[in-house]
Amino acid sequence: MTERDLFGVDLVEIGREPQEDLPWVLDVAARNALFLTAVGASDDHDGGDRLAAWAPTRLRSDVVPALRRGAAGFVDPVHYRGTMDLRVAGDSATGAVSLTKATSGQVDAVATALPAGSFLGSSPG
């Protein structure tokens, strides 16, 4: 993938085994300045609305750019109707790539309406 510039894709379906090494695959791509949105084994082939794109409307003209920038995730709409976002300096950064000379920075993870007993975590790369 890195040698061929991700073959020109913005989205990639990664429905394969073993899934444990998928974060490593995406990390290697990102470290080579190749950014894509991964969808896969838990996506919604049966119309259950589990892929959520953080877009202003449900119009294709809003949803496709949201997917391209990585503003997407998988949710169970029966159990979760809240919102999630990553913010840098108060601005939405979900799916964004930040190029900076800073040696550190603060990223705030924000989630609303989390079900009882759930938690919000991160997996830094």
At residue 64, the pLDDT reads 83
Q: How far apart are the first and last CA of the chain?
A: 19
Q: Delimit the domains of the chain by residue range.
A: 1-41, 44-115
Identify the DSSP state of 115: P
Scan for tokens 């979760």, then name that residue: 80
- Token pair recorded at residue 107: 């990223």
In this prediction, residue 49 carries a pLDDT of 56
Which residue do the tokens 């830094």 mark?
A: 124
Note the pLDDT of residue 65. Answer: 85
pLDDT recorded at residue 56: 80
Are the C-beta atoms of residues 33 and 26 closer than 8 Å to each other?
A: no
The pTM assigned to this predicted structure is 0.59
Which pLDDT value is given to residue 66? 82
> If you compute the radius of gyration of the chain from its CA atoms, what whole number of angstroms results?
15
Helices and strands in the chain: count of H runs, count of E runs: 2, 7
From its phi and psi, is residue 80 left (phi > 0), alpha (psi between -120 and 50) or beta? beta
One pLDDT digit (tens) per residue for the chain, 125 residues = 656 666 666 667 666 677 777 777 777 877 888 777 776 655 555 655 566 777 788 888 988 888 877 777 767 767 777 888 888 888 888 777 777 898 888 888 888 888 888 888 776 65
Structure tokens at 32: 């080579």
Two tokens, residue 104: 């550190």
At residue 61, the pLDDT reads: 92
> Which pLDDT score is estimated for 44?
55
